[in-house]
Amino acid sequence: MSQGDLLHVVTEDDISDARRRFGHGIVWASAALLAVVAIAQYMQMSGARDFGFQTWRPTLYAYILWAVCLCWSKVLIHGEHGKRTLFVLPAALFVVSLTVFPLLFGIVIAFSNWNLASPLGRQFNGLDNVRQMWADPFYWNALRNMVWYTLAILVEYVIAFGLALLLNAEIKARKFFRVAFLLPLMLSPVAVSWMVGKSMLEIRFGPIAKLARWLGWENPSFFGSPEVARFTIMVLDAWTFIPFMMIMILAGLQAIPKDLTEAARVDGAGPWKAFWEIVFPLMLPVSVTAILIRIIFKLKLADIVINLTAGGPGGATDTVTSFIFREYRDRSNVGYGTLLAMVYLVIIILFMTILMKLAERFAAPRT
């Protein structure tokens, strides 16, 4: 990022001392109020004294008040400069309070035994959850499945690239095809898993099962064996998300200057050669972006699995998210589930960092 503002503004700020003091004053006053309310609530929770609070809402309101005062004080103290801060500050406060705080809280939960259904409440249990995770074959199985699901993206990419090439060809009714190809992305995964996964794949009357029988598959069952079930989930998820990659690749294809492909043709390169030597290398940056974003979405895959197979048969289709979802639904064990999610987050961060570093090197323009 370059130094200094892109937008140069000359401002004259004459901020009186009183105004500055008032600005500092409201921040500290609201912070003090927040602290008092939070301490009072904490005392009530730990049973020291009863203030008659029903929920933690008062602390929430005090926090919101503090956030508003902080934003306002920026303008009071820094004048014109503060108004610039005001562009970013609300979003930053929003994200920090909704992710950083729950994440810190989540780390505390992750090392405790906390069954929401039991009256005992939260109990710190050290590394017990880690040990349990280490010995939990289903969690490792879910992680292994995620590797398979992620690898499936390569096939999705090839199909998406093919479709983008088709759409980029000289065709009629391009708009119709583009809209039609885009529609699966708009459909709710839940509706897809019911109407496609359960209805169209239904063994007796589902049209796809009928087609499979007609094609010679004696006894089509799409969720019977582990491999087939995993494949079915992959196909369903691919069906919803291929449009996304296709649109990005199509945008990349359309950005390629026509002269380049023309020149290749004049030089006598066949379409195959022109594709591999000109189009594909030019498409690398877009492809890498599309695949990276697709991986991010793939790692969140859960809706279809939860609704369609609930992880079965035997955990073959489980994703980490659906596994933790059931872990909570069946045993309402918040502590263990949170630990699993935290470990997953660490794995994702490591994986994505390495991947982005690799992508940077790979997609860098070669001279």
Return the residues of window 152-191 that contact other proteins according to CB under 8 A: 162-163, 166-167, 169-171, 175-191
Query: Measured between alpha carbons, how far is 24 from 344 in angstroms, rounded to an integer?
Result: 42
Strands (DSSP E) contained in the chain are 112-113, 123-124
Confirm or reject binding of residue 69 to other proteins (CB under 8 A).
no
Supply the minimum distance, in Å, between the C-beta of residue 201 and other proteins.
11
Confirm or reject binding of residue 38 to other proteins (CB under 8 A).
no
Query: What one-character-per-residue DSSP string does 21-84 give?
Result: HHHHHHHHHHHHHHHHHHHHHHHHHTTS------SSHHHHHHHHHHHHHHHHHHHHHHTHHHHH
Of residues 259-298, which lie at the interface with other proteins (CB under 8 A)? 262, 265-266, 268, 270-271, 285-286, 289-290, 296
Query: Measured between alpha carbons, how far is 196 from 239 in angstroms, rounded to an integer?
Result: 11
Asked if omega into 313 is within 30° of 0 (cis), the reply is yes
Closer residue to other proteins, CB minimum distance, 126 or 207:
207
Which of 28-36, 129-137, 218-226, 258-266 is the region at the interface with other proteins (rule: CB under 8 A)?
Answer: 258-266
Beta-ladder partners of 112: 124
Confirm or reject binding of residue 15 to other proteins (CB under 8 A).
no
Binding-residue pattern over the window 95 to 124 for other proteins, x denoting contact by CB under 8 A:
x--xx--xx-xx--x----x-x--------
Of residues 295-324, which lie at the interface with other proteins (CB under 8 A)? 296, 299-300, 302-303, 306-307, 320-321, 324
CB 253 within 8 A of CB 165: yes
Of residues 200-219, which lie at the interface with other proteins (CB under 8 A)? 200, 204-207, 210
Q: Which two tokens stand for residue 254?
A: 């359309």
The residue from 88, 117, 154, 215 that contacts other proteins (CB under 8 A) is: 88
Sign of CA dihedral 284, 289, 290, 296: positive
Confirm or reject binding of residue 48 to other proteins (CB under 8 A).
no
Closer residue to other proteins, CB minimum distance, 154 or 169:
169
